[in-house]
């Protein structure tokens, strides 16, 4: 079973975010989840569980 549990980023109001701080937040919260899921799926499919 894969539990994707990421969280964090640059804490400031949205209108004060820069492209860089938004990228950091997306990398940490979206892309890590997608890449971990992608890595785990073949094993889950093999076991038919996960």
- Domain borders along the chain are 17-47
Q: What is the pLDDT of residue 37?
A: 94
Q: How far apart are CA 24 and CA 36, in angstroms?
A: 17
- Both tokens assigned to 46: 């093999």
Tell me, what's the pLDDT at 8?
82
C-alpha to C-alpha distance for 15 and 40, rounded to whole angstroms: 36
And the tokens for 43? 């094993």
Say how far apart CA 50 and CA 37 lie, in whole Å: 10
pTM: 0.67
Specify the pLDDT at position 15. Answer: 97
Q: How much is the pLDDT for 2?
A: 86
Instruction: Give me the residues of the chain with pLDDT under 50, please.
Output: none
């Amino acid at each position: 079973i894969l539990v994707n549990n990421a969280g964090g980023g640059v804490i400031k109001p949205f209108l004060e975010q820069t492209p860089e701080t938004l990228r950091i937040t997306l990398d940490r919260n979206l892309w890590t989840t997608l890449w971990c899921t992608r890595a785990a799926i073949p094993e889950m499919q093999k076991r038919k569980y996960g």
